[in-house]
Structure 1
């Protein structure tokens, strides 16, 4: 039986002399990567829930190279596709001394840039970026960061709803929602539909890409609070859903984030790679444990490229969700192990440290104060009777960013201050928070109370969404949150709830932008520049243009 590509190739983790290629095939086979006419890597597929995958690690490549490659399944060449309008896909290795460009964004609904999709969600910035890069000469290190909501498991487009209807039939077991994915095979189709659009497929085949989940990769408001988690655990279909979602995330997104060395140390990888048959039981058991005991696995990962250290932080699965005001840290956005990991890696040495947090660290101050107040009320700052009301407000208004985890804000402030003062090695030129989630974009310079001016520059940069623009009404609400009046109200509420102050202060630089966008940060030496691209003119085939740039 001739094998074919079901998904991929995806170019994932890249080092100075290595590159990782991930594929999904429709039958077990040997996957070979050929570079410059020679086979440089071969890997047998592994199987999870009847789906077949391979991770090929190509080694011995020159530094800072961009080398065209081909993919073979058995003896058949399956990539590049014949008559593709795009340039050949390349393996990109990093140059330790070269300039670095980080593209980043979140929140993408796959529409194929159909006229109906553009009207509802706006132009797809991953498609637009593919068109731009296909015409550009790319110099230096280029990496794409997809920081949350790569798929929407709970808000499905018509092709995915049709798929569910065809595989499930009229009966939905355990009262599972008919318009959300639940099983592993449904997640597999969700990823296939998200990443097989030709421009996006080419982009992911030729730009090294790192990923981290946010809530919609599993379900809206995932791990908002202990009450939310308890309510979901009470639904008979939820354990299957969380098992499928985390298992699929490990296979489709997380596995490619890892270097060969990190992958060799992963507790699940050897069991899956060496399984004699289908590794579904191993993946399911791992995923359920990761849900039941968040400290059992670390999803956060670090990537050093050029003079930049990128820290992809898990702010979802590893949350500690207690409300015990007596024990500080019982509620945190990273969990105890996550904070220890961030403390260890948010250190001096690199010229630039980037913390990729799917949810913004720094929000418009009015929203930050509202979240801090709400957390205090839910923990009993105003007594017992307002706590249920506070919880309903928290879930209704999505009050679950860093501002709603004040312990984590203080601990992150301590880490940033120590790095900026040179207490953890030579102070970096910048510490940047890259985020998405909120469906509008902005920049906010951050000051630390105990760091002198002229030292490390700290900035929050947000770029969101890639393709899921806000409605006109929601845009008006966003503008209201940046108003002076709402800021004053929020500040009064935090004082009435006796919320302790933090060492970080900030103010938005300019206005927020609510259209679809993709962000970019360009690093050269100790300088850094942030850019935001959008494609609001020229129809579905428009190339993106820079609508804002600033030095950070």
Structure 2
């Protein structure tokens, strides 16, 4: 750990990112190079300015390393802030030599035009929402967050046109699929900031430093991932005996392993500042890996060029998040057999647990700080007990991981109009009782019961489900065939219809007489976008359900393959097709919306970007757009029944 550069580090490395914003509450998240003494100032257009010197109860600080400190600002206001108007804000950081600096000093890239401070709008109702998932830095597309920022820049002076929320619906990072230049930058940043190290059990390397120095650390990490006797049946069942690590991703060559690696990646995908602190050297690589590194470098450089816009968007719009598999690892908790294998080995358990700790700190904490207070307290204790060499205590890190794997409380709700219910579809799974190799339900019976309780007597609701509740029937059918063959991991068989019990309970919730009349379901995951209008067949007073899927922010689906899936789905599952009676949702009438820029008959839109949904006073969509990362805007148009 090298302190030589500490005096050259900027005060703030990442953020601030706006998280929960309510009339009487404001939550922000940032990472600084030192513990900051902060003063929050608020500047409403029609009310008096507010200045609050933040104490320990209003600003919590966790040391991620010698020169990296995560801050969560959570302020309760005595006087409510006005709604539906722009409110400027600043975080003033006290300086050791005296005086203060503000956002305009240390993060001018977060400001529009001649602004002196960023601003936000507290909407009296959820009238428009930006949403998307699947942001992979080394995908060849441009960044959908940069497009959303450009869209907001045109409207930021008109509060009524600004979105109420920015929702990340999963795969905010790809911990299991990392480009070589990104992994190299991660290691440079770990050293520059002195992020804490860790000791490893059940691995071929003893600790994090040995891992970073290992010959296999770039493009050969599948050799370092655990391969034990307990995985033989898993490999035989899923891959026909082909040698695979515990982790089933096809892109495990640079799979993140340590907590510091995952934390460093969050810093590098959310802010341009950390990139200015590292030299960007090329590590020593074998010839074939050096060639791949060279091909990936310009893609990562293009991603970094757009980061100021992504950071500005998250500083100006309240931002909420929920995990999906790639935030942790591909196929996370897909089957009971996967769980038994991954959690039964100390090294794979640590890898999954480290990503979950990083999610807690970087994503989950800002969604609902009170709900996550207990795990945050345990995390703070872990981080404070590093030894003189900067290593975390292994037993305490493992204990925290055990607690997080058992934790029930990642889901959250917003008391907005309409109410928003954000689902955890990864950790409370309904495991197959007949075959542990069959896909688990995305939520178990108890979690679905709690979900129903949140809906009772609400006139309208917005549901955030990482995977679409109503997906493409043909693709779900293909996944079902592979599941019957005992190979669900080959096709990522994760959909709401894959488990009979979970599917039936979910469909019954929509038919319950005390649940809402209007549902908007926001999803991602699948790397293409679509909209469905769903109603109950032969039901005069059917609720109306809009399944709105936007994916990915920086990702996509193979064009030719998606075209075939789209075409075959239209043929095989046309309204008159008898195949509809073999689906679990046969009692639901599903009508697709048509993308206005699609080729004849297309219902699925394949293009990186971010979704925008505008809602009327009853919580019904009046406009559904996909803001393409390439600058093209696609409107999904309702098809006449």
The reply to whether TM is greater than 0.5 is yes
Say whether 1:70 aligns with 2:125: no
Does structure 2 retain, via aligned residues, the 8 Å contact 1:365–1:482?
Answer: yes
Aligned positions, number: 504
Indicate the residue corresponding to 2:62 in structure 1: 46
Indicate the residue corresponding to 1:244 in structure 2: 354
Q: Structure 2: give runs of 5+ residues left out of the alignment.
A: 1-6, 44-48, 192-211, 226-251, 272-306, 387-391, 595-602
Does structure 1 retain, via aligned residues, the 8 Å contact 2:432–2:439?
Answer: yes
Indicate the residue corresponding to 1:86 in structure 2: 112
How far apart, in 2, do the equivalents of 1:95 and 1:161 lie?
39
TM-score, normalization by structure 2: 0.71
- The residue correspondences of 1:3-42 to structure 2 (distance < 5 A) are 4-36=11-43, 38-40=50-52, 42=54
More strand by share: 1
Deviations 1:252-273 (A, max 9, x none): 0000001x6545xx32234456
Of the three residues 142, 146, 150, the one matched with 1:127 is 146
Deviation at 1:248, TM superposition (A): 0.3
Deviation at 1:224, TM superposition (A): 1.6
Q: Structure 1: give runs of 5+ residues left out of the alignment.
A: 112-119, 378-389
How far apart, in 2, do the equivalents of 1:82 and 1:433 lie?
35
How far apart, in 1, do the equivalents of 2:309 and 2:324 lie?
24
Deviation at 1:503, TM superposition (A): 4.0
- The residue correspondences of 1:264-413 to structure 2 (distance < 5 A) are 266-272=373-379, 277-278=384-385, 285-291=399-405, 293=406, 296-305=407-416, 307-324=417-434, 331-349=440-458, 351-372=459-480, 377=484, 390-392=485-487, 394-413=488-507
Secondary structure in 1 matching 2:35: coil
Indicate the residue corresponding to 2:268 in structure 1: 193
Of the three residues 215, 239, 243, the one matched with 2:325 is 215
Label 1:523 to 1:151 Cα distance change in 2 as closer, same or farther (>3 A).
same
Label 1:261 to 1:230 Cα distance change in 2 as closer, same or farther (>3 A).
closer
Does structure 2 retain, via aligned residues, the 8 Å contact 1:233–1:239?
Answer: yes
Does structure 2 retain, via aligned residues, the 8 Å contact 1:155–1:180?
Answer: yes
How far apart, in 2, do the equivalents of 1:373 and 1:204 lie?
41
Which moved further from structure 2: 29-38 or 201-210? 29-38
Label 1:300 to 1:450 Cα distance change in 2 as closer, same or farther (>3 A).
farther
Does structure 2 retain, via aligned residues, the 8 Å contact 1:444–1:459?
Answer: yes
Of the three residues 204, 214, 219, the one matched with 1:170 is 214
How far apart, in 2, do the equivalents of 1:548 and 1:500 lie?
26
How far apart, in 2, do the equivalents of 1:156 and 1:442 lie?
27
How far apart, in 2, do the equivalents of 1:533 and 1:493 lie?
29
How far apart, in 1, do the equivalents of 2:529 and 2:41 lie?
40
Deviation at 1:516, TM superposition (A): 1.4
Does structure 2 retain, via aligned residues, the 8 Å contact 1:442–1:513?
Answer: yes
Indicate the residue corresponding to 2:258 in structure 1: 183
Which moved further from structure 2: 274-283 or 37-46? 274-283
Indicate the residue corresponding to 1:117 in structure 2: none
Indicate the residue corresponding to 1:387 in structure 2: none
Structure of higher CA gyration radius: 2
Label 1:28 to 1:481 Cα distance change in 2 as closer, same or farther (>3 A).
farther
Does structure 1 retain, via aligned residues, the 8 Å contact 2:171–2:326?
Answer: yes
Does structure 2 retain, via aligned residues, the 8 Å contact 1:17–1:59?
Answer: yes
Indicate the residue corresponding to 2:206 in structure 1: none
Say whether 1:473 aligns with 2:575: no
How far apart, in 2, do the equivalents of 1:278 and 1:478 lie?
53
Deviation at 1:535, TM superposition (A): 3.5
Which moved further from structure 2: 72-81 or 168-177? 168-177
Does structure 1 retain, via aligned residues, the 8 Å contact 2:507–2:585?
Answer: no
Does structure 2 retain, via aligned residues, the 8 Å contact 1:242–1:288?
Answer: no
